[in-house]
Amino acid sequence: MTVTGKPGGMSLHTKMLIGFIVGIVAGLAANAFAGGQEWVNWVVTYVANPVGQLFLRLLFMLVVPLVFSALVLGVVEIGQPSALGRIGFRTLVYILVVTGVAVTIGLIAANILQPGKGLPPEVGQAILATSQTSSAAIIEKKEAINGIDLLLNIVPKNPIQAAANGDLIAVMFFALMFGVAATVIRSDGTRTFLGTVQGVYDISLLLIGWVIKLAPYAVAALLFAITARLGFDVIAQLARYVGTVVLALAVHFFVVFPLLVKYVGSRSPIDFFKRAEPAILTAFSTSSSSATLPTTLMVAEERLGVPRRVGRFVCTLGATANMNGTALFEGITVLFLAQFFGIELGIGQQILILFACILGAIGAAGVPGGSLPVIASILVMFGIPPEGIGLILGVDRFLDMCRTTVNVTGDLVGAVVVSRGEPTEERT
């Protein structure tokens, strides 16, 4: 799968960038000049949303076979258990350290800028009243952040059911076990099985290549649907909160990631971001690490030259477990709501929030809005009214786009960092 069109033609990621701009400009124009009119709602409901959702469904349809086949093949290609342990350990350390740095940046930003103290109480109450039903539904889905349960849930009781439910962490564990066993046995039967898995992977990539050709139109449709309804009004009401989250994400994206790429990955940050552009645009437009995974794998292998075995392992695992942007967002949101409700949180409590956000980000679904039930759970832990989550629902889609961009870029940075020192003959 490539990102270029016909020889001499416009590249796919350039078309996606055009679709990105067209969608935002058209949506904001529709909101500004015809916001609330029936024809705008009709276009969003019956044209833009269906086009965007069809694209997302096509991508999600291929996520499970891609995740399973990519991880099995990645583990087999790593070969020796010692090599798998080395790469797995590097990946785990990267996820924990960089996610911890992200949450720390978010907590520092929230403490300095105090976004929860800048929202007038009457505006806050009005927003809460309009989002009461939606926030209640999210609170019902909250799950306690428990380290033991998180570890146990990694192992699926029924891998087929886990795949049907979209539980990618459980699917990944099952695939890892299959890959390790296939590496150990190396019989005629396993070679046949691996040939089949390679076929599944190749077919998945081909189908994804076909689907990705629709990306420029889907990007325009998705962004039009969001901006035509959202506009600037809701963002203006929650400007300090939105600004705090975006600023913290920008620090992590433009400071932490380039430092890691340059000094740990020994790569040029400018070249890295240029090559990673297709995945960054896809992540921003889809708000889903899982839906972006096919593009992430392609970018890691074909554009960044990461060894295939490392790219498959790190990026596939990272699509669910490495959520830097989500963890940062969760930390700021918890402090924002604590400030809004006048609840003081000490240093010790904020350290606990840091660890809760790291665990919560690892367990959060890689789909739009997957972190909201986790935030509701953390709020309950610290005595903050979970109903306050209704304050952020109006701007969550926009912030979801921003934090997913950081999540996916973090996966690619991780692939570059972990691959350093690996055999160069496998680079493409």
Average pLDDT over residues 386-404: 82
In order of 3, 92, 127, 202, 283, the CA distances from 56 in angstroms are 18, 29, 29, 20, 11
Tokens of 161: 């059911």
pTM for the structure as a whole:
0.77
- Residue whose tokens read 């665990």: 359
pLDDT in tens, 109-164: 999 999 988 777 776 776 666 556 556 666 565 555 555 666 677 788 898 888 88
- Chain centroid to CA 390: 22
Average pLDDT over residues 262-290: 90
- Which run of H or E residues covers position 90? helix 81-113
Residue among 407, 364, 320 at smallest CA distance from 70 = 320
Count how many Cα atoms sit within 13 Å of the Cα of residue 316 in the half-sphere of its side chain.
30
CATH of region 12-426:
1.10.3860.10
Please give the mean pLDDT across all residues of the chain: 82
Q: Which pLDDT belongs to residue 414?
A: 95
How does residue 403 score in pLDDT terms, banded at 50, 70 and 90? very high
pLDDT in tens, 340-359: 888 888 888 899 888 888 87
- Chain centroid to CA 130: 28
Q: Which pLDDT belongs to residue 376?
A: 80
Average pLDDT over residues 87-107: 92
Select the more confidently predicted residue: 9 or 244: 244
Q: Are 260 and 98 in contact (CB under 8 A)?
A: yes
pLDDT in tens, 311-332: 888 998 888 778 899 999 999 9
| Residue environment code for 257-291, b if the CB has 16+ CB neighbours within 10 A, otherwise e | bbebbeeebebebeebbebbbbbbbbbbbbbbbbb
